[in-house]
Every structure is written in structure tokens, then in C-alpha cells.
Amino acid sequence: KKRIGVMTSGGDSQGMNGVVRSVVRMSIHMGCEPYAIYEGYDGLVQGGDLIKQMKWDDVRGFLSRGGTLIGTKRCMEFYERPGRLVAAKNMILKGIDALIICGGDGSLTGADKFRSEWPSLLQELVEKGDLTQEAVEPYKHLNICGLVGSIDNDMSGTDATIGCFSSLERICEMVDAVFDTAASHKRGFVIEVMGRHCGWLALMASIATGADYVFIPEKPPAPGWEDEMCQIVTSHREWGKRRTIIIISEGAQDTELEKITADQVVKVLTDRLKLDTRKTVLGHIQRGGLPSYYDRWLSTLQGVEAVNAILDSTPDKPTPVITIRENKIERSNLEECVKLTKSVATAIKEKNFEKAMHLRDVEFKE
């Protein structure tokens, strides 16, 4: 029976448990044996009890739980070849030559590298006498499939990453809560949201909550932003608004870009408009809590598709990543998606913001 490993890697996101549940049950349904790799790549490197066979009942109740119940870690050892060598050995000892990984672009790039290196890793293990030629013979090719789990929605090639809509919902709830207290005191609030180098969460949250102004990394403030922001806030106040909400993406404060910080925005509102203004950093609240219905749905369907992709994969096919475009679950080329994601980051670094915005919109087919 084919053994399929499933793991969650990088920062957790809502919906990762849905992926594990879906992969475990679909694997069993397809006559395979699923294995959970606990603690991300660390589980592969440590082996032993961190690689555990999963039965149908082991994932009962997973769908509605936040975080990742099989753990995750940003594992530095796996990013070096010696770490990957041990990981390959542990997999062969468990009879696993297929991996489904749910994580961000860094975790998925690591997986793709592992796959391309696999034959040379096996050869090295045989040469060193760690494994015999007979032991590695049945596992000549490593099959990998990626699923994008991240609250940031920062992967090109997919309309939504698993977790981004739950996080957006959480942010909106929190901003609504701040609204109440802000309106009571006629205060201003500058609310910092996560997203790493991607402004999706901030932009969507600002539209969904009717915020007064938003800062995102893809379109940093132009010189004179203070005047523009103050003029907008003043006109909103004149129309009767009792509170001011400014949303700032953590990535918009990247010091390599136009230097802008939440504190600076607070100061502008306080000094120029004499607004009693506070800063609120939402932090990891955005990553916790129940997955939304959308993430339960997305993780389930994508988990099913990931198992199908593994069963269809051949050594000559590029590593797939499961995406969603225009509401259709699809298989895309992992390397291309990662490449496009990186070119957005590069465009932002080079301050070519128009290109970054354009690349974020690019649709491409496998």
C-alpha cells in the first residue's frame, strides 16, 4: 500500500487541520496509508514517534479546530543538506515516498528542493552504508504536493491561501470592537494588521470595515500622504463620523521602503488634527480561533485534490501545488507560483510598485 505523509509547516493558519483530516481520509479512501509528520520538517528530521500512521478516527473533530494539531515549526536543519539526508532516511525507514505539505512559499520551496535532490540523497545514504541498495530500491522517486496554508494570502497563482479568509474575518471582528470604543470617545485608532510583505489582509479589512485610510506595502504613501490622510479624516469627521480608523499593514512599515510606522501615523493625527489617537496591534489573535466555513471547505477540497495529484504524479511531471482560481480547485506548477511570488517581493524591494500590483493580478496557466 502506498504510504503518504502529511505535514503542516511554517506559520500556522486556520484550515490546516482541515487539510490533515481531508488528506488522511482521502488517502484511506483511495487504499493508501496516511502518516502524519508532527512538528513540520522537524518531524522528518527527528523521525521516530514524530512520524505516525493515522487512522480514520484520529482526525475526528479536526475540521473546526484552529491552529495545527500536528504541530509546525520553522526548522533550520531541513534547510541544510545533512538535515535533508536524515529526513530521507527516516522516510524510507517508514516506507514513505510521498509527501503532502501545507505551508507558505518557503516551506513549499524546501519541499521542491527535497524532491529534486531525492535520488542523490538515496545514493549518499547507500554509499555511507546507512541503507542498503535493496532498501532504497522501491522508493526511487519522491512525490510531493503542496497546499498553500497562510493567513497572508501572499502566494501568486492562487486566489486564496488556506487561512486568509478566517484571519480576515477575525480582523474585521476586532476592528468592529475597536469601533465601539473609538466612537464612544470620538477617538482615532491606528490598527496594525499582519500579512508580512503582502497588503491583502489590510486592504480587504479596510474595505470590509469602512476604515478611513489604509497603508499597504504594494502602494506605500507618496510624499504628502500626511496632508491627504488628514484631509480625508477631516471630511469624514465633518460628515458626522465619531471615530477614525486607519489600518496599517505590518509590511507597509518595512524600513527598506518609505519609512512609515504606526506611531508616526498616530503622531500626525494627534499633532495636526488634535485627535486623541491610540495604536492597536492585533498580533497573533489574527492567526488563532475557529476556521471560517470557507477555510473548512477549501481545506477539505484541496486535501482531496492533493491526494489525487500524488496518485497521478510521475517523475517527469513538475511538482504540483493545489490552487483555487475563479472558484475552481486546480493543480498548478509549484515552481512557477513560487517564482512569481518572489518577483512580486523583488518589485516591492525595488520600489517598482506598479509592477508589484500588476504581478499580484497576473493569472497564468500551467
Q: Write out the binding residues for substrate.
A: 150-152, 187, 194-196, 250, 278, 284-287
> If binding is defined by CB under 6 A, does position 204 make contact with ligand F6P?
no
According to CB under 6 A, which one of 37, 194, 211, 269 is a site residue for ligand F6P?
A: 194
What's the closest the beta carbon of residue 154 comes to ligand F6P, in angstroms? 8
Show the cell assigned to 122.
Answer: 538515496
What residue type is 231 in one-letter code? Answer: Q
Q: Which pairing describes strands 33-37 and 51-53: parallel, antiparallel, or unpaired?
A: antiparallel
User: Should residue 345 be labelled a site residue for ligand F6P when binding is judged by CB under 6 A?
Assistant: no
Could you say which residues in the range 263-322 bind ligand F6P, by CB under 6 A?
A: 287
Parallel, antiparallel, or unpaired: how do β-strands 213-215 and 244-249 relate? Answer: parallel
Query: How far is residue 185's CA from residue 192's CA, in Å, rounded to a whole number?
Result: 20
Question: In angstroms, rounded to a whole number, what is the distance separating the alpha carbons of residues 298 and 314?
Answer: 25
With residues binned 3-state (H G I as helix, E B as strand, rest as coil), the percentages for the chain, rounded to 5, are 50, 15, 30
Catalytic residue list contains 152: yes
Q: Are 174 and 282 in contact (CB under 8 A)?
A: yes
8 interacts with ligand F6P by CB under 6 A: no
Fill in the per-residue mask, 86 to 115: x = in contact with ligand F6P (CB under 6 A), - = not in contact.
------------------x-----------
- In the bound state with ligand F6P, the residue whose beta carbon lies nearer, of 269 and 321, is 321
Q: Residue 294 CB, nearest distance to ligand F6P (Å)? A: 18
The three-state DSSP-derived secondary structure of 72-117 is CCCCCHHHCHHHHHHHHHHHHHHCCCEEEEEECHHHHHHHHHHHHH
Burial class (CB in 10 A: 0-12, 13-18, 19+), 236: middle
When asked if residue 243 is in the footprint of ligand F6P (CB under 6 A), the reply is no
Task: Name residue 189's beta-bridge partners.
Answer: 245, 278
CB 101 within 8 A of CB 107: yes
Stretch that binds ligand F6P, among 1-9, 83-91, 189-197, 213-221 (CB under 6 A): 189-197
Q: How many CB atoms neighbour CB 139 within 10 A?
A: 18
Residues tagged in the binding site annotation for Mg(2+): 105
Q: How far is the CB of 145 from ligand F6P (least distance, A)?
A: 21
Binding residues for ATP: 11, 74-75, 104-107
* Residues 117 to 156 in contact with ligand F6P, rule: CB under 6 A: 150-152
Q: Which of 3, 5, 8, 11 binds ligand F6P (CB under 6 A)?
A: 11
Kindly list the catalytic residues: 152
User: What residue ranges bind ligand F6P (CB under 6 A)?
Assistant: 11, 104, 150-152, 194-196, 250, 287
